[in-house]
Amino acid sequence: MNRRKNVNSFQHENAVRGLVGLILLAGLLFATGCGYSTGDISGVVRFDGQPLEAGMVTFHHTKLSGRNIIATVQPDGKYQALHCPTGPVKVTVQA
């Protein structure tokens, strides 16, 4: 019985150490971010020389799959996208 108690205690200590390790790793990943730099993008969308009154501008990052940033076009044609991953993007505009 004493041996069984020691084994359970040992397993519990390992589980606690593993959990603490995961928490520290998660904190480190959160503190360092996702590993890429970001920037802000803003501008004016025009069609035939006039500001587009409504729509969406989508930035499709070509190196980070699934990292699309969408900015809403305001009535004066202006848009702003914050914290966009830097790098090559394909831009689409939908009116």
Residues 46 and 61 in one domain: yes
Q: How many domains does the chain have?
A: 2
Give the chain's count of helices (H) and strands (E).
1, 7
- pTM value is 0.60
Residues 20 and 63 in one domain: no
What average pLDDT does range 16-30 have in this prediction? 57
Residues 29 and 55 in one domain: no
Residues 86 and 50 in one domain: yes
Tell me if 68 sits within 8 A of 61, measured CB to CB.
yes
Strands 55-61 and 46-47: unpaired
What is the predicted pLDDT for the residue at 12? Answer: 54
Q: What is the 3-state secondary structure (H, E, C) of 18-60?
A: HHHHHHHHHHHHHHHCCCCCEEEEEEECEECCEECCCEEEEEE
Higher pLDDT, 16 or 60: 60
Residues 77 and 57 in one domain: yes
User: Which of 2-6, 28-32, 50-54, 85-89 bottoms out in mean pLDDT, i.e. has the lowest?
Assistant: 28-32
| Residue that is written with structure tokens 């790098």 in the block | 87
What is the 8-class DSSP label of residue 65?
T
Residue range(s) defining the domain that contains residue 54: 38-94
Q: What value does the mean pLDDT of the chain take?
A: 78
